[in-house]
A and B are shown apart, each in its own frame.
Chain A
Amino acid sequence: MPEALHEPFHDIGKQRSAEEAGIWIFLASEVIFFGGLFLGYAVYRLRLPEGYGAAMAETNLTLGIVNTALLLASSATMAFTVWVGREGLQRATVTGLIATLALGTAFLAVKGVEYYEDIRHHLIPGHPDFPVDVPGAEMFFSFYWAMTGLHGLHMAIGLGIIAWTVHAVRSDRIAWRETAHLHVVGLYWNLVDVVWIFLFPLLYLVGR
């Protein structure tokens, strides 16, 4: 069994709250990071409303809805994992993590299909055959690619961490019962979700 308590802590409760404080601070900085993209999206949307509306009609709403459902489900399985993890149930924890991993991977797979479709339709800013000829349409797709790309990168990092956690919990490599590890991973995953909750209406719904 690995040691739960790390230097310089002498009290596991205090260590847990320190770990949780750490991830909340990190999430605050992540919010500012995505905030820059949301700011850019908002500024240009205000200036180029027609282009945004026309371009949004080109995004694949069906795949967007499927992905939203997948990600919300993965949030639920992650929350379940944190909850059974606190109870110390190893098999349930591993199951919850694997379910989250599967749902998250499915999201990225669907996103990949969607990207393929987008490229097939020349929805690339600056492309000579870009289908929408309204000023601002290309800008919408610039943000579409930048925002979903960076969101996807965060998901990929999260999936990597979850995959490692599956291994670590299964082999008891970390003291997952006592430390805040699962909680920290769960909070990060939920942030990735929350970002998508904002991206989905902004890129697929509002003004369509």
Chain B
Amino acid sequence: MSSTDAEGYIAQEPDYLGAGHTVRSWLLTTDHKRIGILYLVTLLFFFLIGGAAATFIRLELATPPGDLVTADTYNRLFTLHGVIMVWFFLVPAVPSTLGNFLLPLAIGARDMAFPKLNLLSWYINLVGGLLALAALLLGGVDTGWTFYTPYSSLYSNSYVTLAALGVFIAGFSTIATGLNFIVTVHTQRCEGLTWMRLPLFVWALYATSMVIVLATPALAVALAMVVMERVFALGLFDPAQGGDPILFQHIFWFYSHPAVYIMILPGFGVVTEVLTCFSRRKVFGYEAMVFAILGIALFGFFVWGHHMFVSGQSAYASLIFSLLSFLIAIPSAIKVFNWSATLYGGHITFEASMLYALGFIGLFTLGGLTGLFLASVPIDVHMHDTYFVTAHFHYIMVGGMVSAFFAGLHFWWPKITGRMYSELWARLAALLMFLGFNFTFFPQFILGYMGMPRRYHSYPDEFEMWNVLSSAGAVILAVAYLMPFVYLGLSVYRGRRAGDNPWQARGLEWQTASPPPRENFGPLPVVTREPYDYHRSDEEPSAREGDLDFPNRSDTETR
């Protein structure tokens, strides 16, 4: 335990970054904050690889004929893009980086319940990632990220086994993280932090962890069955032996639909924290938000059949899955309405993280509403496997989730590094991302509506204009994604000191130094109030004190 001075600040103890400078001190750390940074590094690495594949895809599609890559290479490119982005970027994006860093801080704890397991999960993730990467470098996989049988199990001559094993192993890493989060929230909350006082970010991580633990093993068994079929020639999905390839789709989507919520729920949490802080408002309808999160996590398990309307499942099954998919829109809509109501009457300021968060709401709403189109059977039969579907899930995953990830990264960057980044460049990047994203993906809705199928490397001339627009937008988007690497990177060396709480936010993580000390807090905080107490419930919200752009140097710094 560290010694503290009269005000409770940790006396001159180095922060978690200064606690050791050797490579060993990073690779063998059990500090959840350092593990979060390790995840951030590997995650950005995979993001760049997945992004590079997407660049080639948009480059090929800039002209109607297939003139850049062969059809076979194109298959491998979009598989690479999907596998890397889904399992090595989107799924771990918020939980493993921001979640790992912030969960103990947000509940007033000194670390995760199982610090060693936490480190182990990073290594497991690394092994899985390297296996998948090896498969992709050796020649790639051509099945698409969904690994549909019987193509993946019987016919594909690409490195399916290796890639599937990589994803299988990475799955255990997320299970370990989810398990750790659940136990941590149950056992490590500080005094006074009751369940109904938890920040919604923590609730979102908790619900995500539940989904991770209960859904990921279904993916594991589906992939294990494909691998066994390939390696040992067991005919588990082989029609010649009485097998049914559709069974694979059922098990796969039993994981992969909830996986959508694994990817988006943490984003909900991040956005709630950011919106309340920059509108200086209590969150509207806290309980409703909690139950919406839990409801989405639960109902997410019962809608997987909406991916299989044209796979030959019974019409009754399709109708029920369609109905359930419509119902899950209710809790999602509750969240969007409550965010809007939170903004209403608030003192809104447009910091970069707020811009990202507002962008999230817009893009997620559009993605969610087009999801309702696809949840209705007749429209899905028409739209299935067209660019409309591609656009829909990119609005959720990239527009929604990546915006939320960047919102969180910008919001907590001062806490993580102790430095402020250039607000001007950050706002510019946020606006550019919103613009570039819509520029890239909105034309794909139109292409899908016109009937352009996904996963082809060439297309008839009539689709050219919209594809050119989409590829041009992708250039803007790429610039917007690369900008934060520059100004966030520079801020580490040149940024102003952030102080403990530059945004005057109310979460517990802001009650300690930036960057936090190894033990997170001096004496552990005691919670006596509701979360998001930006104003008293009988008072109107008031503007933030002091200069908005130049946070005051805090007590910790002048000590």
On A, residues with C-beta under 8 Å from B are 6-9, 14, 17-18, 21-22, 25-26, 28-30, 32-37, 39-40, 43-44, 47-48, 51, 125-126, 135-136, 138-139, 142-143, 145-146, 149-150
Contact = CB atoms under 8 A, between A and B. Distances in A.
Contact of B247 (A6, A43, A142, A150): A43
B110 A7 contact: yes
Nearest to B1: A10
B499 to A, nearest CB: 26
B60 interface: no
Interface string B377-401: 0000000000000000000000000
B40 interface: no
A125 B234 contact: yes
Interface string B164-183: 00000000000100111011
B236 interface: yes
Contacts of A36: 217-218, 221-222, 225, 251
B19 interface: no
Contacts of B182: 21, 25
Contacts of B188: 8
A144 B117 CA distance: 33
19 contacts: A7-B111, A9-B113, A17-B187, A22-B183, A25-B178, A28-B213, A29-B179, A29-B213, A32-B221, A36-B221, A36-B225, A43-B244, A44-B244, A47-B244, A48-B242, A51-B242, A125-B234, A142-B234, A143-B236
B109 interface: yes
A25 B213 contact: yes
Of the candidates B30, B180, B217, B233, the one having the most CB atoms from chain A within 10 angstroms of its own CB is: B217
A136 B179 contact: no
A97 to B, nearest CB: 22
B179 A25 contact: yes
B221 A25 contact: no
Of the candidates B111, B178, B221, B251, the one having the most CB atoms from chain A within 10 angstroms of its own CB is: B221
B242 A136 contact: yes
A46 B503 CA distance: 61
B228 A139 contact: no
B516 interface: no
A54 to B, nearest CB: 13
B218 A47 contact: no
A138 B239 CA distance: 11
Interface of B: 30, 104, 109-115, 117, 175, 178-180, 182-183, 186-188, 213-218, 220-222, 224-225, 228, 232-236, 241-244, 247, 250-251
A190 to B, nearest CB: 18
Interface of B is mostly: helix
A131 to B, nearest CB: 15
A-B pairs, 3 with minimum CB distance: A36-B221, A33-B217, A142-B234
A7 B30 CA distance: 10
B234 A44 contact: no
Nearest to B31: A7
B331 to A, nearest CB: 23
A40 B214 contact: no
Contacts of A21: 182-183, 186-187
Contact of A126 (B109, B115, B220, B235): B235
Given A8-B112, A17-B187, A18-B113, A33 B241 contact: no
Given A22-B179, A36-B221, A126-B241, A146 B111 contact: no
A115 to B, nearest CB: 12
B396 to A, nearest CB: 24
Of the candidates A6, A7, A28, A150, the one having the most CB atoms from chain B within 10 angstroms of its own CB is: A7
Contacts of A30: 217
A146 B183 contact: no
Contacts of B183: 18, 21-22, 25
B95 to A, nearest CB: 15
B161 to A, nearest CB: 15
Given A22-B113, A48-B242, A29 B214 contact: yes
A29 B216 contact: yes
Nearest to A23: B179
B110 A18 contact: no
B113 A8 contact: yes
A7 B115 contact: yes
A138 B250 CA distance: 22
B241 A14 contact: no
Contacts of B241: 125-126, 138-139, 142
Contacts of B242: 44, 47-48, 51, 135-136, 138-139
Contacts of A145: 228, 232, 234
Contacts of A18: 113-114, 183, 186-187
Nearest to A7: B111
B213 to A, nearest CB: 5
A136 B185 CA distance: 48
Contacts of B187: 9, 14, 17-18, 21
Given A8-B113, A126-B241, A139-B243, A146 B234 contact: yes
Contacts of B178: 25
